[in-house]
Chains A and B, each alone.
Chain A
Amino acid sequence: MTTQEPTNAENWAKPVDSLHIAHDLPDHAINLNVEGKRVASMTSGFGKMWQKTYRVRLDGARVAPQQVVKVWKEHFPEFWQKGQHFFGPMASISPGDVALINVKTGGVKLSTGILVLYADDVSFSFMTPEGHMFTGMITFSARELEDGVTQAEIVALVRAQDPIYELGMMTMGSGAEDRQWLHVLRSLAAHFGVEGKPTLEKICVDRKRQWKRFGNVRRSAAIRTVFYSVTRPLRRKEKTRASA
Chain B
Amino acid sequence: MPNALTLDVRQPGSSTAVLDVQGDITADSEKPLMEAYAEAGSAKAIVLNFSGLEYMNSGGIGLLVTLLVRANRAKQKLLAFGLTEHYRQIFELTRIDEAIEIFGSEDEALQAASK
The stretch of A81-89, A116-124, A144-152 that contacts the partner chain: A116-124
Nearest-neighbour CB distance to chain B for A92, whole angstroms, equals 17
Task: Give Cα A98 to B3, complex, Å.
Answer: 31
Chain A residues near B81: list those with CB within 8 A.
Answer: 1
State the interface size on chain A (CB cutoff 8 A). 38
What is the CA–CA distance of A206 and B83 in the complex, to the nearest angstrom? 27
By the criterion CB–CB under 8 Å, are B87 and A157 in contact?
A: no
Q: Are A1 and B65 in contact (CB under 8 A)?
A: no
Stretch of B5-13, B14-22, B39-47, B66-74 on the interface side: B66-74
A139 on interface, CB distance cutoff 8 Å = yes
Q: How big is chain B's contact interface, by range?
A: 20 to 34
**Chain A residues within 8 Å of B89, by CB:** 14-15
**Judging by beta carbons under 8 Å apart, are B85 and A136 in contact?**
no
Task: Report chain A residues within 8 Å CB of B84.
Answer: 1-6
Cα–Cα, bound, A208→B73 (Å): 9
**Chain B residue at smallest Cβ distance from A159:** B69
B57 at the A interface (CB under 8 A): yes
Interface residue B38 (Cβ < 8 Å from any Cβ of A): no
Most chain-B Cβ atoms within 10 A of its Cβ — which of A42, A127, A137, A205?
A42
Query: Do the beta carbons of B93 and A43 come within 8 Å of each other?
Result: no
**Which of these, A2, A41, A123, A125, contacts B98 with CB under 8 Å?**
A41
Question: A8 contacts the other chain (Cβ, under 8 Å)?
Answer: yes
A137 contacts B58, CB within 8 Å? Answer: yes
Contacting pair B82 A42 (CB below 8 A): no
Instruction: Tell me which residues across on chain A come within 8 A of B31, comparing CB atoms.
Output: none
A39 at the interface (CB under 8 A from B): yes
Q: Is the CB of A216 closer than 8 A to any CB of chain B?
A: no
Q: Are B95 and A43 in contact (CB under 8 A)?
A: yes
A155 and B27 contact, CB distance less than 8 A: yes
CB under 8 Å from chain B, chain A span 153-191:
155, 157
CB–CB A117/B95 < 8 A = no
Q: Which of B56, B59, B88, B89: most chain A Cβ within 10 A?
A: B59
B111 within 8 A of A: no
Other-chain residue from A4, A14, A206 in contact with B69 (beta carbon distance below 8 A): A206
With A139-B62, A157-B65 as contacts: A1 and B56 at CB distance below 8 Å: no
Tell whether, in the assembled complex, residue B62 and residue A155 are in contact, meaning their CB atoms are under 8 Å apart: yes
Query: Within A112-144, which residues are at the interface with B (CB < 8 Å)?
Result: 117-118, 120, 123, 125, 127, 136-137, 139, 141
Interfacial chain A residues near B93, Cβ < 8 Å: 12-13, 15-16, 39, 117
Known: A125-B58, A155-B27. A2 touches B51 (CB 8 A): yes
| Contact, CB under 8 Å: A8 / B58 | no
Within the complex, the shortest CB–CB distance from B109 to chain A, in Å, comes to: 12
| Chain B contacts for A14, CB-based, 8 A | 89
Query: A49 and B69: CB pair below 8 A?
Result: yes
Interface assignment of A66: CB less than 8 Å from any CB of chain B: no
Q: Give A42 to B91 CA distance when docked, in angstroms.
A: 10
A8 — which chain B residues lie within 8 A by C-beta?
A: 55-57
Q: B96 touches which one: A2, A13, A43, A155 (CB < 8 A)?
A: A43
**Interface core residue of B51, B85, B93 (most chain A CB under 10 Å):** B93
Does A240 sit at the interface, judged by CB under 8 A?
no
Binding site for A on B (CB under 8 A): 27, 51, 54-59, 61-62, 65-66, 68-69, 72-73, 81-90, 92-96, 98-99, 104
